[in-house]
Amino acid sequence: MLFNSLSFLIFFPVVTILFFLVQHRYRWALLLAASCFFYMSFRPVYILILAVMITVDYFSAIAIENSGSHRRKKIFLIGSIVVNVGMLAFFKYYDFLNNFISALLPLGKGAPLLPVFSFLLPIGLSFHTFQSMSYTLEVYGGNQKAERHFGIFSLYVMFYPQLVAGPIERPGHLLPQFRIEHKFDYVKVSRGLRRMLWGLFKKMVIADRLAVYVDPVFDQPHLYGGFPVVWAGLFYTFQIYCDFSGYCDIAIGAAGVMGFELTENFRSPFFSKSVSEFWKRWHISLTSWLFDYVYKPVSFLKRGWGKWGAVYAVMITFSLCGLWHGARWTFVAWGLLNGAALAVEIIFRRNKRKVETKQPSKFRDIPFILLTFAFVSLVFIVARASTIPEALFMLKSIPELSTEKIIGLPIITRFAFELNFIFIFLLMSAEWFFLNEETKIKNAFVTSTSFRYAVNILLLLLILFFGVFEQQAFIYFQF
Amino acid sequence: MKKIIIEISALLIFIIAVFMLLEFLFRDYKNGVDRVMDDFFKSRDQAEVLMVGNSHALPFYNALKHEEGSGVAFLTIGGDDLFWMQALVRKQLHSMPAVRYVILNCDDELLGFNQSLSGLSFMNRMLYQYTDEMYANKEMDILLSKSNFFRSNRDIGYLFSKQSNANIVMANAGGKGTFTDEECKVRAKEISEKRFQTKLFSENLTYVVSIINEVKRCNKILFVLKLPKCDCLSAAVNQENLADSRRLLDSVFMATKTEMLDFSGDHTFTRDAFANPDHLTPQVAKKLMVKMNDRIFDSVGDRPIHLQ
């Protein structure tokens, strides 16, 4: 059931109304049942994977908490991690690893060493695995009490708004919210609905429209070069942002209507002045997860290396970040490129500060913002390409800047093509106004009801007139 | 709670009112599919020949649409892929008692093509009411296919000019051979590379077989038509891609003993015969129909297309 589907248009109000009608003590059961239904609407059998994961982590956490010795705690933690990572590895990385190892071995001339299983990746597996793992890790670290209510713990892993594509929640943030009684709150409900509308606009009006121009180029990159590659890279950057942040807006809004507060996953990442800042604003819940559970321990282990310890830790973290996104070398390369950019920032941090202070303060951010955006867009081409040679081919063809190869893209009308730039401009302007602390438009939005109505009506009309109604799955579902 | 219910209701009422108004304003809108289908319904009871195809077959439709008694009904819609052709045949053929022959225009490039490669997914909504099936059959698409506004592909220009933007499915513009070699190359690349994917072969072959079976089931005779190509186009297409496609299609047609009307190697059609690199002019299409009649006569002893 996609957030942009007719089924969700019925599912959401029904669940929300029932949520407010049902007594607080039964709400967990209602939400859990709704979440199971939501997940099973994609592929019912894969709920068994979730069931195994939930059961293992539920009992592991209790065992960790009850264990007297540190050694026993560690054994239970490792057991839980092995099951979680094992399932993720089996369903997501088995074929990738099988092919990789087979290619390295001289036997069999690259034929797969082990039997090939072409599983359909369980939707959102990486998200709920990380969410569930963070629970046992926090219990192990003593920062979180083990949840004794099996139903509430299951709901923590399965809460439907963020089940299939995050944000990846931490137990300390989400679990207590299931214990609190959420009363109907006009402000929260209207804010949540507005957030959902904004997410739908991003997905249906921007992301899915851009897909029309992005997909043909990435499907057959050898046929394009120059401007189409530039457009495809540029459009893909906005497409993936609007697709994923649009999903998160709907998730945060849907949870917000019921009074739950989910973690913000994006903070206007395209206004970042450096790659490190970009990663503090892009997919925040994943970055902070990796920072806490990978970067920090690795850099602590290598603290004797000084600056190079941080470089080592960042490279390990971002290779994992790339691999988390998918079992493909292009994702690994994308992660490594981002890691390399961050490593450069770490190495030259002091020098960069000197440069910044020499710039006039008002305009100094603009070149850094543009440079960061250019880098991010270029490396997204690597992530989106099917293979490394295709990515290299596309990157090499950019300097051609030929317009000859544009023809063939499904440009139905020039107006339809140009509209994309208008919507991107609208998006960036909206983000700019809300990024700054004090702007007239932001103040008007907060204080004026009629202005908010006007914005809501405008968004609804834009979706009606320009939204893509042929349902397209969210890109991050595949991760 | 009262306040939010009022607010949501107000917004819903507003958006529904706008939608109803649009539905009203677009009530008489005819998209390209509707136009072809209107003529089809007028002629289907008397027609002896049913011609099925995409924009390449539109010149035949344009040549005969003002002629009464030609005995040909057309399901030729620009942008149509093999899925839609089989869907139209399966839905419409059984209700055409007078039809004896079905002519399927199936050029080689069609095997590697589908509507999404050209960004024509909106055609789902236009065609559904004539086929009762669509790609993926999603509830949202089915719902939208009932809407006049969405069936127009949200042709907002119509509100101001009352001219429907139907050229996508009616495309047949151009003068006699006035296109350049460069346009030929571009078009060749489009049809044989950019909008052509070998991974679609197996799926599309099932649709071809489905058409063959449906025609047999209805006791009609199927002829597969391959159109002549402009020399500059033939020289510029990806020969390897089209050869693979041709080999597969021919093997299916041979295995099912399907009759062919193959003009693809006929070089008597010079550049002047084409309105643009891959579409004949209606006048030449009419002349080609004489040749088609002759070939059909050679095969079954009948000239079913009645030309004035």
At B64-95, the pLDDT tens digits run 877 778 889 999 988 889 999 999 999 999 98
**In this model, does residue B164 exceed pLDDT 80?**
no
Query: In this predicted structure, which of A227-231, B59-63, B164-168, B274-278 has the lowest mean pLDDT?
Result: B164-168
Q: What is the SS3 assignment for B270? A: coil
B4 → closest Cβ in A186, A456, A470: A186
Mean pLDDT calculated for residue range B53-72? 86
The answer to whether A464 contacts B18, with C-beta atoms less than 8 Å apart, is yes
The pLDDT assigned to B114 comes to: 87
Counting residues of chain B whose pLDDT is more than 70, the rounded percentage is 94
A465 → closest Cβ in B3, B11, B154: B154
B193 → closest Cβ in A223, A460, A471: A223
CB pairs under 8 A between A and B: 71
Contact B298, B78 (CB under 8 A): no
Determine contact: B197 vs chain A, CB below 8 A: yes
Nearest CA among B67, B200, B194, B297 for reference residue A228 = B194
Listed as own residue / partner, the contacts of A427-432 with beta carbons closer than 8 Å and 24 or more positions apart are: A427/A202, A427/A206, A427/A238, A427/A242, A428/A270, A431/A268, A431/A270, A431/A271, A432/A268, A432/A271
Determine contact: A216 vs chain B, CB below 8 A: yes
Q: From CA B37, how far away is CA B131, in angstroms rounded?
A: 11
3-state helix, strand, coil in chain B (%, to 5): 55, 10, 35
Give the chain A residue whose CA is nearest to the CA of B190: A408
Nearest CA among A251, A79, A238, A242 for reference residue A168 = A251
SS (H, E, C) B73-102: EEEECCCCCHHHHHHHHHHHHHHCCCCCEE
Chain A hits for B14, CB-CB cut-off 8 Å, are 457, 460
Contact A138, A170 (CB under 8 A): yes
Determine contact: A448 vs chain B, CB below 8 A: no
| Overall size of chain A counted in residues | 479
C-alpha A375: how far from its chain's center?
19
The answer to whether B4 contacts A189, with C-beta atoms less than 8 Å apart, is yes
B19 → closest Cβ in A7, A184, A464: A464
Q: Determine how β-strand B101-105 pairs with β-strand B259-262.
A: unpaired
Determine contact: B254 vs chain A, CB below 8 A: no
DSSP letter assigned to residue A409: B
Query: pTM surpassing 0.90?
Result: no
Contact B111, B204 (CB under 8 A): yes
Chain A hits for B121, CB-CB cut-off 8 Å, are 470
Chain B hits for A471, CB-CB cut-off 8 Å, are 138, 140-141
The answer to whether B190 contacts A223, with C-beta atoms less than 8 Å apart, is no
The answer to whether B4 contacts A461, with C-beta atoms less than 8 Å apart, is no
Chain A hits for B150, CB-CB cut-off 8 Å, are 469
The answer to whether A220 contacts B197, with C-beta atoms less than 8 Å apart, is yes
Chain A hits for B32, CB-CB cut-off 8 Å, are none
Q: How far is CA A395 from CA A227, A335, A377, in A?
A: 11, 17, 11
Q: What is the pLDDT of residues B175-232, one digit of tens each?
A: 566 778 888 888 888 888 888 888 899 999 999 999 999 999 999 999 999 999 888 9
Counting residues of chain B whose pLDDT is more than 90, the rounded percentage is 37
- A464/chain B closest Cα distance in angstroms: 8
The pLDDT assigned to B269 comes to: 86
List chain A pLDDT tens, one digit each, 479 residues: 888 888 899 999 999 999 999 999 999 999 999 999 999 988 888 899 999 999 999 999 999 999 888 899 999 999 999 999 998 888 888 877 777 777 777 665 666 677 777 667 788 888 989 999 999 999 999 999 999 999 999 999 999 999 888 799 999 999 999 999 999 998 899 889 999 999 999 999 999 989 888 888 888 787 777 778 888 899 999 999 999 999 999 999 999 999 999 999 999 999 999 999 999 999 999 999 999 999 999 988 888 888 888 899 999 999 999 988 888 899 999 999 999 999 999 888 765 555 555 544 556 788 889 999 999 999 999 999 988 998 998 888 888 766 555 555 555 567 777 888 999 999 998 888 776 666 666 677 777 778 888 888 999 999 999 988 876 666 666 66
Most B-contacting residue of A407, A420, A460 (CB-CB within 10 A), to test interface: A407
Tell me whether residue A325 is one of the annotated catalytic residues. yes
ipTM of the complex: 0.76
The answer to whether A469 contacts B7, with C-beta atoms less than 8 Å apart, is no
The answer to whether B122 contacts A470, with C-beta atoms less than 8 Å apart, is yes
The pLDDT assigned to B178 comes to: 73
Determine contact: A223 vs chain B, CB below 8 A: yes
Contact A120, A111 (CB under 8 A): no
Q: Count CA atoms within 13 Å of residue B242 on its CB side.
A: 22
Chain B hits for A6, CB-CB cut-off 8 Å, are 139-140, 143
Contact A170, A431 (CB under 8 A): no
